[in-house]
Structure 1
Amino acid sequence: MLTAGVVAPAIADPDGAGGGSGSSTPSAADVRAAKERAADARTDVDGIQERLAAADDALDAASVRAAKAAEAWNGARWEAQQARVRERTATAASARADKALRAQKAAYRDVLITTNGAGTDLAAANAILAADDMQALLEETATKDRVDDLLDQQRAEYDAAAGAAAKAEESATAAADEAEQALAKARTARDAAQAEADAAAATARRVGRQKVRLVATLARLQGVSVAVAQRRQEALESETRRARAAATPDPEPRPDPQPQPADDGPAPDPAPADPEPADPAPADPPAPSGGAQAAIAFARAQLGEPYQWGAAGPGSWDCSGLTSKAWAAGGKSLPHYSVAQYDVSTPISAGQLRPGDLVFWGDNGSPSSIYHVALYVGGGRIIHAPRTGRPVTEESMYYWRTPDFYARP
């Protein structure tokens, strides 16, 4: 923890105690008071840093809620799209069944007209009466039987066509109802995502203002400039992220992070650098395939573009929108939904990662809880659209905490 570094000034004892009249030697009371002020300052620094950590936690929680809502919207929208596809398929099947039924109606009508309409029973009776011998009678009777068989077959085909048409119409109606319900769910999810995005943006603004005030107070207590205090705070937050990542078990073992020097109080100003921890990367992977290279190149071309929930370019992105379009450039179609992207990809371990693979974060051990996805680019780094207020960026895949799932498109 960074300390205040406060030095108590020497105060003359107006009563001359401990050093004679006019002596500059502090009394025991002065020393105690100075130590108390230093302790108070240290306590103040610790308290401010706790408040800064709490502010970051609040922002993190709001961002996660917004990410979950955004991916729930993507999921609901994707399901609505699938429901529409099923509706169109069912409607087309119903139309084909209706056409087949109309053809069977016409065929059955023609057979009835040709047989019953022409007086089949009367013709059969006349044939029996006019038969010259038994052989002729049998031939005439067989003809009638064949006609009756034809009628029975035609009736069976008509009944089958009518049943298929009814079933197809029922399926089409059910698919239409399902699509409407999916659309209603998507609209609800869209509204929830917008509300969470607005809440996260408001939290980000509030936390930003709060951190500016707290860092300024921290600088005053530590006796340094605001810029120095800000750099120290960023380094402390980076170390906190490292500790959180180290506390989360990896799906596959990875080397321990390089040890960091102990904090013995105020340190020289760190050189401006990437505040993200230099986490070790998985073993050097093979060179990416042409599709993976194209996906990475596309993602890199979007660096700096803003995050917008539900967006898949051009100019703004959410996490699954970016990975979807990146891999589209690489020749593979991925849904605009992180859970579905995992489902249609091949699960791998952290140790199998190679450039172009997908890295996922979820709530628990189930892939259905996934709510964030990034594109792995090698060297332990990812490109992703993080959240509202943070543009598309390339950074350590341990920037926040260890990912939960990995997959290869």
Structure 2
Amino acid sequence: MRARNMAATTVLALLASGLVAGIAVADDDTVPSKDDVHDARTAVRAQLDDVAAVRARLVVANQRLQQSAVAAAQAAEAFNGARWRADQARDAATEAQAGVTAAEADVERQRQAYSDAVVSSYEMSPELTALAGVLDSDGIDTVLQRTETMRNATDAMSGNYDEFRASAVVAQVARDRADRALDAAKQAEQDALDARQEAQRAADAAAADAQSIAAEKGALIARLADLQHVSVDLARRRQSGLEARAARAAAAAAAAEQAQEQEQAQPPAPTGTPTPTQEPTQQPTEQPTEQPSEQPSEAPAPPPAATPAPKSGAQAAIAFARAQIGEPYQWGAAGPDEWDCSGLTAGAWGAGGTYLPHYSVAQYEQSTPISASQLQPGDLVFWGSSSDPGSIYHVALYIGGGRIIQAPRTGRPVEEVSMYYWTAPNFFARP
């Protein structure tokens, strides 16, 4: 009898909450049958399964949103890389053309020198022939002198010709190099244009995906609200809380992993050395009673001077980046009012007195790689899709305490967040 009453109470409670609908009830309204109880339990399980399925679809939607953002970031940094390579190629072409100009000027000088030698040889030839040297000589010394002069003139003319030919070869090599450099610059500029178009397509696709996924998530949350018999607003807040809790858990796990790496990186304390807590326990009981009573009567020490604003180095970089918080993200931008990820870090370290290219991969390559356990304020943290630094697609400025300043992506302005806000970074470097 007790079991039947409990079953009846369960089904009535389910019916009252609206979780069970369309279940056939026995003729006796107060005593559900075993089939009624079974059907009620089955409905509850099915409904819980529906909730789990909706939440799983929300997880997938969030993953798609993240993948879309990564693809957009990769395309934006690919454009920065192509633009950087184009600048380098154009500089190389300019340098090569300067080499051509110098080589051609040298060829002209050698041509003139050779022409002068030929003319001089022709003008002196009547006097330098061996026969003239014998017929007109006043003696053997004159013959020898004229013969030596003739030999020297011939050698000089040959030497001038050789230098002219060498200069001509050098000039031709310089022209070939300049042509190749110019072709490379044109190709690099075309690559940069293509990368720019691809970055725009990726940004547009990410924006469209975000809008589509937002609509999909809205429908899923409305379905959750219906299944849980709560308002849509409450369901949305519940879902946001679950996602925030998952993000905090992931951040805590990543931070714990980094702390463990730092602990492992520290050398163990040498055994047999006295601990630093042994001596301080004796001194405070011996001397503090006399001196403190005498010195406070003297004039107090002047207050410390105000700390000047940092002018260089890591602190200046951090101060610059912090001043940009709230300014919008724009791929390819490097200030003064819009930024992308590598544009912000380049601008920050530029304020600190260190040049960094506007390209995350090049920033890593031109800095000193470090481990996560070695991070200090002002260092750079990078995200890459593999263990190859060439896969880096995002960079941020580390400010200490596990936090960063970054220009994240379209729709999110420059911000200060945990460096585990997204996924854990996998490259670290010090400019």
TM-score > 0.5 by shorter chain: yes
Partner residue in 2 for 1:90: 96
- Unmatched runs of 5 consecutive residues or more in structure 1: 1-5, 257-287
Relative to structure 1, the CA distance from residue 163 to residue 334 in structure 2 (aligned partners, 3 Å threshold; closer, same or farther) is same
Superposition map of 1:79-228 within 5 A: 79-119=85-125, 123-228=129-234
CA 1:84–1:328: 2 relative to 1, 3 Å: same
45 and 171 in structure 1: CA distance in 2 versus 1, 3 angstrom threshold: same
Distance 1:238 1:73 in 2: 33
SS in 2 for 1:115: helix
1:244 deviates by 5.4
The alpha-carbon deviation at position 29 of structure 1 amounts to 3.7
Deviation at 1:252, TM superposition (A): 7.7
> Is 1:349 equivalent to 2:371 in the alignment?
yes
Shift of residue 36, structure 1, vs aligned partner: 2.6
Counterpart of 2:155 in structure 1: which amino acid? D
Alpha-carbon deviations, 1:311-346, whole Å to 9, x = none? 112222211111111111111111111000000000
Give yes or no for the alignment of 1:384 onto 2:406.
Answer: yes
Residue of structure 2 equivalent to 1:31: 37
Q: 1:229 aligns with which of 224, 235, 248?
A: 235
Tell me the distance in 2 between the aligned counterparts of 1:77 and 1:69: 12
Identity %: 49
Q: Give the partner amino acid of 1:345.
A: S
The SS at the match of 1:336 is coil
Indicate conservation of the 8 Å contact 1:305/1:317, yes or no: yes
Deviation at 1:115, TM superposition (A): 1.5
Q: Which has the larger radius of gyration?
A: 2
Counterpart Cα distance in 1 of 2:383 and 2:421: 12
Going from structure 1 to structure 2, the CA distance change for 1:14 and 1:7 (only over 3 Å counts) comes to closer
Kindly indicate whether the alpha-carbon contact (under 8 Å) linking 1:251 and 1:349 is maintained by their aligned counterparts in 2.
no
Paired residue secondary structure (1:376): strand
Displacement of 1:225 in angstroms is 3.6
Structure with greater contact order relative to length (CA < 8 Å, sep ≥ 6): 1
Counterpart Cα distance in 1 of 2:154 and 2:215: 91
Aligned to 1:274: none
State the Cα distance separating 1:13 from its structure 2 match: 8.9
Does the alignment pair 1:294 with 2:316? yes
Other-structure match for 1:264: none
Q: 1:108 to 1:251 in 2, by over 3 A?
A: farther
Give CA-to-partner distance per residue, 1:29-79, whole Å, 9 cap, x none.
443333233222211211111111111111111111111111111111100
What amino acid does structure 2 have at the position aligned with 1:294? A
Q: Quick one: which amino acid aligns to residue 222 of structure 2? A: A
**Contact persistence 2:81–2:359 (CA under 8 A):** yes
Contact 1:320 1:338 in 2 (8 A): yes
What's 1:43 paired with? 49
Q: 1:174 to 1:323 in 2, by over 3 A?
A: same
Letter in 2 for 1:394: E
User: Is the contact made by 1:241 and 1:401 (CA closer than 8 Å) also made in structure 2?
Assistant: no
Residue 419 of structure 2 is aligned to residue 406 of structure 1: no
Which residue type is aligned with residue 391 of structure 2? S
1:280 corresponding residue in structure 2: none
Q: Check whether the contact 1:252–1:349 (CA below 8 A) recurs between aligned residues.
A: no
Which stretch has the larger CA shift, 139-148 or 310-319? 310-319
Higher share in helix = 2
Aligned counterparts of 1:111 and 1:101: Cα–Cα separation in 2: 15
How many equivalent pairs are there? 368
CA-to-aligned-CA distance 1:356-382 (integer Å, 9 cap, x gap): 110001111111111111111111011
Q: Distance in 2 between matches of 1:408 and 1:75?
A: 20
Q: State the shift of 1:117 in Å.
A: 4.1
SS in 2 for 1:229: helix
Are the equivalent residues in 2 in contact too, given 1:251–1:404 (CA < 8 A)? no
The partner residue of 2:392 within 357, 360, 370 is: 370
Aligned to 2:14, which of 8, 12, 28? 8
Query: What SS does structure 1 have at the residue aligned with 2:85?
Result: helix
8 Å Cα contact 1:361/1:404 also seen in 2: yes
1:213-362 matches, within 5 Å, as 213-241=219-247, 246=253, 253-254=260-261, 290-362=312-384
SS at match of 2:396: strand
C-alpha contact (below 8 Å) 2:333/2:339 kept by paired residues: yes
State the 1:290 CA deviation. 4.2
Q: Distance in 2 between matches of 1:7 and 1:155?
A: 111
Partner residue in 1 for 2:60: 54
Partner of 2:282: none
Distance 2:419 2:70 in 1: 16
**Which range moves more in the overlay, 34-43 or 390-399?**
34-43
Query: Aligned pair in 2 of structure 1 residues 58, 105: CA closer, same or farther (>3 Å)?
Result: same
Shift in Å, 1:28: 3.5
Describe the superposition over 1:154-187 as per-residue Cα deviations: whole angstroms up to 9, x where unpaired: 1122112111111111111110011011111111
Gaps of 5+ in 2: 1-11, 264-309
CA RMSD in angstroms comes to 2.7
Measured after TM superposition, the shift of residue 135 of structure 1 is 1.9
TM-score, length-normalised on structure 2?
0.79
Q: Is the 8 A contact 1:323 1:375 kept in 2?
A: yes
Contact 1:13 1:26 in 2 (8 A): no
After superposition, give the CA deviation of every residue in 1:202-222 in whole Å (9 maximum; x if it has no partner).
000111111122223223322
